[in-house]
Structure 1
């Protein structure tokens, strides 16, 4: 592949589409293709660099008529490379799917069939927006709200202490910026390496050799010895993102490094010493993972010598306007286009929107508005078209959708009767049965509209799809 061309990933289970688009884009891009989510992630693990761009179909195997595999792939790709620009190319052309794909982090949504020339123009425009969440000048977390001021104060206090820091926060909220900017660039280690590894983006079998390195002949394909992230980080900083995805069997080895700096390459008996500072991040509740037996309590305590929480955008008030101004200025300059503005009514909607995808979602909305409405005053209708519909409406209140005292008593009586009559009860299986019954009832009442079903259940669509995906694994 030519190093001069941008790398483009196309994921579609229709071979005719991948072949025709590969041919159409071959002059401008180095194209790699895949037919499924597992194959795409395996393929990316073999590449020397992550693609700058991706075209992703929603209806992928093993569920060709449902978009959940495509949604999951968007999350996987952004976990691997947060700066990857993803465009959804799909025959499932309803607005709910488009909005949800954008909320997850896709830059845009294009329905099939699509003119290759128009798609090539969109790819070029998307590639031109190169600024990351810090912007061109490399500043850190943006915001003047009390939660952001508190976060920056904490990061400043912990920056040079050298102990591990656990960064908690939702996807897209800026945990990587907190680690790289405040806990590395503004510290005494800033001249040393900063290495980042996403534990969710690598196969569990490859995590150990990736972290600790391996000896020649340690496993099939290990033709030479190779250093790992701990060795390459030297006395710098090693950022372990999505630490909650670290396999249970590997956790004692990470604990050993944190306790005394010792580790071994895979296939070696020689003990090596790491001087790297470990920063970990998670969007999971690790305390809950401990209770579920998926995360070691002793490792959690070692990782969380200091803990900081990056607030979601819905808790930072007018910071959403500061971020709007920041990205609008950057992307208008990059595209050499006049910046858009918001009408007063649209600005009020902007401030009311929860931004479930956090800064990543906000950034992508600004990219789309810059491309489509350069120099215009954005109306409420134009702005609402970019938002996830299920998050614009208010969530059901406890008065409207909660359990009343009589409902709880009826449920308690049913549970008492069940316990009296059951020879052996599996509480987890019983709760899963009731959850599935409510989900299927909500989908039926919503005539198959997944956004409406999620609203009926008081959850977001991503949670709904994740719970349904769990059925297929049982």
Structure 2
């Protein structure tokens, strides 16, 4: 049961309330003033506070505000013998869960306590869900930019509902990751997540895949087949590239959204499916509606909530984080020792416009690691025109005028030291020999440029 704190300067009320709640199986602590209560709260966690309003030195409202400031949103029930409409409004406005009049009815007290504890449990479950969402989403949707933070906040609000979601964004932005995050942070997480790329199927095949078919429904249908709407029962169906969904099938999908039931191809039996439908597209569905290529009523059913995934060019500050993560991931998959991005490589990545978005960045890093011969990805390892052609790799093309000469010279020196270390496979004595300097001088410069 719950740990409940009773705060009242009248011993009689503390005793009665304590015994009443203890008889219900609760653990009860009491305090005769708010200062003693605050000291107890600093040592122990409580699930609910019952407090008198009128107390010397600190009244109940002041006590409530101190609790909220120091210990967060603990459900708080105010007890008073001097209730007025103004007092009640002030109490509720301050954040109290409820208030009760003295002398109180035992059943009334127990009912309010039960409601307050149920509210606390719900809040605790919501907090756990939000933490779970944060862990699961941030594991795949990487970024610290305002654009990505807004997207993560929107996902956290939408995920717990059954509401249909339309995810929009350019190709390669990570729309499927958003769909996966919505599923994993929802009450349907234990159910299946079924993904369908609508552009990958011909119309007749897509109908059979989604709705299933009965034996003999068409040539080649030698046995009954369950559709993906049945497979996804209790979970989530993600329809990627919904803009490619055939117009003749859109009415059947609309019926699924409206009635949660459908028929297999060639069948007459009604099949119910408890499935949340999430869709994604890089196309403008409103333009398709105007052109007669998409049903307006289906659009509004799918578009209850829209999540817009920003293109990479709108949050370039996330490129270093994304590139580093891809570097780490592919180092494990490819068994390569590459562990860093050379500064000019990072500059080249940040200059690029990324028309293919995050997917293009991922492919660039994977391709670069296949060609990299050292421990750091260099510009010449990147594909053209993003990287430096290998025959021009020694031209230091990232150097630009407009900066002090000493700064440019330090950048050249640092890059030459990196290249020497790569050529010498990390052996400092050989690198020093290539540079024509002593090993001690090389070690000094390694510290100077933080290349240890």
> What TM-score does the superposition give when structure 2 sets the normalisation length?
0.54
Q: Highest relative contact order (Cα 8 Å, sep 6+), 1 or 2?
A: 1
- 1:216 is aligned to 215
What secondary structure sits across from 2:167 in the alignment? strand
- 1:165 is aligned to 165
- Counterpart check, 1:308 vs 2:307: yes
CA distance in 2, matches of 1:268, 1:211: 14
Cα displacement (A) at 1:178: 0.5
Asked if 2 retains the 8 angstrom alpha-carbon contact of 1:199 and 1:241, the reply is: yes
In the superposition, relative to structure 1, how do residues 308 and 348 fare at CA in structure 2: closer, same or farther (>3 Å)? Answer: same
CA distance in 2, matches of 1:303, 1:359: 25
Cα displacement (A) at 1:346: 2.8
- Counterpart check, 1:334 vs 2:333: yes
What secondary structure sits across from 2:277 in the alignment? strand
Asked if 1 retains the 8 angstrom alpha-carbon contact of 2:371 and 2:381, the reply is: no
Contiguous gaps of at least 5 residues in structure 1: 1-135, 390-474
Deviations 1:121-166 (A, max 9, x none): xxxxxxxxxxxxxxx9992211111111111111110001111100
In the superposition, relative to structure 1, how do residues 227 and 138 fare at CA in structure 2: closer, same or farther (>3 Å)? Answer: farther
Deviations 1:394-415 (A, max 9, x none): xxxxxxxxxxxxxxxxxxxxxx
Over alpha carbons, which structure has the higher Rg? 2
Contiguous gaps of at least 5 residues in structure 2: 1-135, 389-452
- Counterpart check, 1:320 vs 2:326: no
Deviations 1:352-399 (A, max 9, x none): 21211112111111111111114344444543626399xxxxxxxxxx
- 1:346 is aligned to 345
What secondary structure sits across from 2:154 in the alignment? helix
- 1:204 is aligned to 203
Asked if 2 retains the 8 angstrom alpha-carbon contact of 1:264 and 1:271, the reply is: yes
Cα displacement (A) at 1:195: 0.4
In the superposition, relative to structure 1, how do residues 137 and 260 fare at CA in structure 2: closer, same or farther (>3 Å)? Answer: closer
In the superposition, relative to structure 1, how do residues 275 and 333 fare at CA in structure 2: closer, same or farther (>3 Å)? Answer: same
What secondary structure sits across from 1:347 in the alignment? helix
CA distance in 2, matches of 1:350, 1:379: 11
Asked if 1 retains the 8 angstrom alpha-carbon contact of 2:328 and 2:339, the reply is: no
- 2:289 is aligned to 290
Deviations 1:162-199 (A, max 9, x none): 1110000111111111101x211121111101100000
In the superposition, relative to structure 1, how do residues 337 and 381 fare at CA in structure 2: closer, same or farther (>3 Å)? Answer: closer
Asked if 2 retains the 8 angstrom alpha-carbon contact of 1:338 and 1:374, the reply is: no
- Counterpart check, 1:263 vs 2:262: yes
* Cα root mean square deviation, aligned: 2.1
- 1:10 is aligned to none
In the superposition, relative to structure 1, how do residues 384 and 206 fare at CA in structure 2: closer, same or farther (>3 Å)? Answer: closer
CA distance in 2, matches of 1:357, 1:292: 27
CA distance in 2, matches of 1:388, 1:297: 45
CA distance in 1, matches of 2:244, 2:212: 19
Asked if 2 retains the 8 angstrom alpha-carbon contact of 1:238 and 1:278, the reply is: yes
Asked if 1 retains the 8 angstrom alpha-carbon contact of 2:345 and 2:379, the reply is: yes
* 1:345-424 paired onto structure 2 within 5 Å: 345-383=344-382, 385=384, 387=386
What secondary structure sits across from 1:152 in the alignment? helix
What secondary structure sits across from 2:316 in the alignment? coil
CA distance in 2, matches of 1:343, 1:245: 42
In the superposition, relative to structure 1, how do residues 334 and 284 fare at CA in structure 2: closer, same or farther (>3 Å)? Answer: same
The number of aligned residues is 253
